[in-house]
Amino acid sequence: MTVIVTEGLTKRYPRVTALDRLTMRIEPGVTGLVGANGAGKSTLIKILLGLAPATEGAAAVLGLDVATEGPRIRADVGYMPEHDCLPPDVSATEFVVHMARMSGLAPTAARERTADTLRHVGLYEERYRAIGGYSTGMKQRVKLAQALVHDPRLVLLDEPTNGLDPVGRDEMLGLIRRVHADFGISVLVTSHLLGELERTSDHIVVIDGGSLLRSSSTRDFTQATASLAVEVTDTDRHPDGTRAALTAFAEAGLTTRADGRLLLVDIRDEDTYDTVRDAVAELGVGLVRMEQRRHRIAEVFDNRPTGHDEK
Amino acid sequence: MSSEPALRDGSRDDSRIHDIGYRHYDGERLGRASIRRALFSQSLRGAYGLGRSGRSKVLPMILFAVMCLPAAIIDAVTVYVHLTKLPVEYTRYAIYLQAVIGLYLAAQAPQSVSRDLRFKTVPLYFSRPMERVDYVLAKFGAMAAALFVLTATPLVVLYVGALLAKLSFGTQTAGFGKGLLAAALLSLVLAGIGLVLAAATPRRGFGVAAVIAVLTISYAAVSSVEAIAYSRGNTGAIGWLGLFSPITLIDGVQSWWLGAHSAAVGGYGPPGVVAGIVYLLVALGLIGGSFALLMRRYRKVGLG
């Protein structure tokens, strides 16, 4: 069953158009929603939760019309906001129990679900302490727990890795993966970093200026966007090593563009790495660097088809 | 993410903790009315510090005791001195102790709404089945109920004392009933004013200051202008001036509608039926108006 469908969804405010005829389908699984700040992600979430009416078009979440069935949608959906939303002077348990009650769970059920959910997001003894003393990573887990406590069928996670250090980021991404893999809950996760969504999502949707830029499976996406940054030294035989390597890569059938001393090679498949290695060895130049480039959303935008530029 | 609890201690079979994995919830999901009730009772308990830290119980409990203490003393005096009537009218009690009620409102109204605004918890409520009106109804109802508990409990104490002193049952019950009605109206009006002021700012301190300022300044202004009117012999004006402060407004309503003696300077309540109706309409308008203002306020603080 399709989780989210939008059809010509448009939201106009007096001065800006936040969503512009957005049409897309999101299937069960983990879907990454990518867009720069102001691309319309927050507006989309508001409409999907039935909290703001669309100017035109229609949308359905879990088969329910957002225009008329807001409360029913919100009973079955969890939402984790981007910003801080936790009172510092209560414990995680008290807070999540209260939020479970606000989702319509009876007192006993709320307490049981809270204990389960906090354990699943990785909060143990500390759940009885006041939230004010938590690290950012722990706070993010509490925010995730309150979105999951009523056992929704879909969660909307708004920038869940914001403010986390690399380790915390990896843990959060792993947790998001588990929400779908182990809990069977579909996830729509937003980020402005394409790289981290590549690792977590089954499917990626890119919106820009309120309209759909791209929607495809993560596999297609990675192949189209990943590249290898290569830097080589000069030798006596090749006074301009970079140029020599560029030529050699082209002969080996790789698509490469030079960026100063950096060569960006499109990764087609696993063999690309070997081809680069062999070509460099053949030339006899030194390999200073060879690393996979994580694409930021801006680069996807640079590569977008012409004709989309004018708005 | 380690959800696998200690399995190291595998030798003690009977005490091993098993990770039973994720369990779905297929129990009952209550509707909006139940959610509203849950928020109402949580907020009402919170207004007396129940379910919160020990420190937050201190002030509301002290104020509650201060509200009841004079009533207990009056009871004692009435019983031992064998008075033929209570020295204080039921309807006048809240007016004597208005400073205590004002303090309570100033402390608890921001507690009830500013926290959710300051810590941006409001979007979490609105991402759940409840609607804006449910949140406002629950918070408004809880604040009014908390104030009613504060203002009606001493009346109960007075009433019990009056019956123990074997005062006329009919007269006392009628007076007590009127006192409760006036306390309910007072609670609704003050809850509305307090919440609107407190919800205007996420800063709790500003909320506290605003509530105290509005209550005391308006009362002081009305009293002094009344005194001036009285000294010039303009007694007709006194009856209208009460409209401009919450406490004197309630005093006006109860002196016209419930036949209470007005606490205004010289005892001049609303002059005539028209004035009385105006007082009642203004009181009801204040309640409805604050509800509308709260609804507007929360329209802007949906998902941030």
**CA closest to B24 among chain A residues:** A151
With an 8 Å Cβ cutoff, are A102 and B303 in contact? no
Question: Hey, is the C-beta of A177 within 8 angstroms of any chain B C-beta?
Answer: no
pLDDT at B129 over 80: yes
Residue A129, φ and ψ in degrees, nearest 5: -90, 160
pLDDT digits (tens, 9 = 90+) for B236-285: 888 899 999 999 999 999 999 888 888 888 888 888 899 999 999 999 99
Domain with CATH 3.30.70.100 in chain A: 226-292
- What was the pLDDT predicted at B19? 59
Q: How confident is the model at residue A288 (pLDDT cuts 50, 70, 90)?
A: confident
Report DSSP state, residue B13: G
With an 8 Å Cβ cutoff, are A79 and B124 in contact? yes
Q: How far is A302 from chain B (nearest CA, A)?
A: 29
Q: How far is B80 from chain A (nearest CA, A)?
A: 48
pLDDT at B218 over 70: yes
- What was the pLDDT predicted at A213? 83
pLDDT at B106 over 50: yes
Measured from the Cβ of residue A169, the count of other Cβ atoms closer than 10 Å reads: 18
Average pLDDT value for residue range B221-232: 93
Query: What is this model's ipTM?
Result: 0.85
Question: Hey, is the C-beta of B285 within 8 angstroms of any chain A C-beta?
Answer: no
With an 8 Å Cβ cutoff, are B24 and A184 in contact? yes
Task: Compute the distance between CA of residue B225 and CA of residue A208 in angstroms, rounded to an integer.
Answer: 62
Mean pLDDT of chain B: 90
Chain B residues with CB-CB distance to A86 below 8 A: 119, 121
Q: How confident is the model at residue B145 (pLDDT cuts 50, 70, 90)?
A: very high
Average pLDDT value for residue range A119-130: 93
pLDDT at A302 over 60: no
Q: DSSP string of B214-240?
A: HHHHHHHHHHHHHHHHHHTT-HHHHHH
For domain A226-292, say whether CATH 3.30.70.100 is its number.
Answer: yes
Tokens (6 digits) for A66: 């957002």
- Residue in A86, A89, A183 closest to B53 by CB: A89
With an 8 Å Cβ cutoff, are A87 and B120 in contact? no
pLDDT at A203 over 60: yes
Q: Which of A172-181, A252-261, B184-193 has the lowest mean pLDDT?
A: A252-261
Report DSSP state, residue B36: H
Mean pLDDT of chain A: 87
pLDDT at A306 over 80: no
Sequence-distant (6+) residues with CB within 8 A of A239 are none
Q: Which of A181-190, A285-294, B106-115 has the lowest mean pLDDT?
A: A285-294
- The CA-CA-CA angle for residues A266, A271, A272, to 5°, reads 25
- What was the pLDDT predicted at A41? 87
Task: Compute the distance between CA of residue B189 and CA of residue B148 in angstroms, rounded to an integer.
Answer: 11
Q: Residue A170: exposed, middle, or buried by beta-carbon count in 10 A (0-12, 13-18, 19+)?
A: middle
Task: Provide the percentage of residues in chain B whose pLDDT is more than 90.
Answer: 76
Average pLDDT value for residue range B68-87: 93
pLDDT digits (tens, 9 = 90+) for B151-174: 999 999 999 999 999 999 999 999
- What was the pLDDT predicted at A36? 80
- Would you kindly state where each structural domain of chain B is located, as residue ranges? 30-217+289-298
Q: Mention the CATH class of domain A4-89+134-222.
A: alpha beta
**CA closest to A138 among chain B residues:** B1
Beta strands at A203-208 and A30-34: parallel, antiparallel or unpaired: parallel
Question: Hey, is the C-beta of A43 within 8 angstroms of any chain B C-beta?
Answer: no
pLDDT digits (tens, 9 = 90+) for B82-96: 988 899 999 999 999
- What was the pLDDT predicted at A303? 52
Task: Compute the distance between CA of residue B112 and CA of residue B145 in angstroms, rounded to an integer.
Answer: 13
Task: Compute the distance between CA of residue B283 and CA of residue B125 in angstroms, rounded to an integer.
Answer: 30
**CA closest to A175 among chain B residues:** B1
Q: How confident is the model at residue A37 (pLDDT cuts 50, 70, 90)?
A: confident
pLDDT at A2 over 60: yes
- What was the pLDDT predicted at B234? 86
- Residue in B31, B119, B303 closest to A87 by CB: B119
**CA closest to B32 among chain A residues:** A104
Domain with CATH 3.40.50.300 in chain A: 4-89+134-222
Q: How confident is the model at residue B9 (pLDDT cuts 50, 70, 90)?
A: very low
Average pLDDT value for residue range B98-107: 96
Task: Provide the percentage of residues in chain B whose pLDDT is more than 70.
Answer: 92
Average pLDDT value for residue range A161-170: 90
Chain A residues with CB-CB distance to B23 below 8 A: 116
pLDDT at A310 over 60: no
- The CA-CA-CA angle for residues B208, B214, B217, to 5°, reads 125
pLDDT at A296 over 70: no
With an 8 Å Cβ cutoff, are A182 and B21 in contact? yes
Average pLDDT value for residue range A270-292: 87
Q: How confident is the model at residue B5 (pLDDT cuts 50, 70, 90)?
A: very low
Q: How confident is the model at residue A10 (pLDDT cuts 50, 70, 90)?
A: very high
- Contact status, residue B279 vs residue B268, Cβ threshold 8 Å: no
Question: Hey, is the C-beta of B16 within 8 angstroms of any chain A C-beta?
Answer: no
Task: Compute the distance between CA of residue A94 and CA of residue A111 in angstroms, rounded to an integer.
Answer: 9
Q: How confident is the model at residue B64 (pLDDT cuts 50, 70, 90)?
A: very high
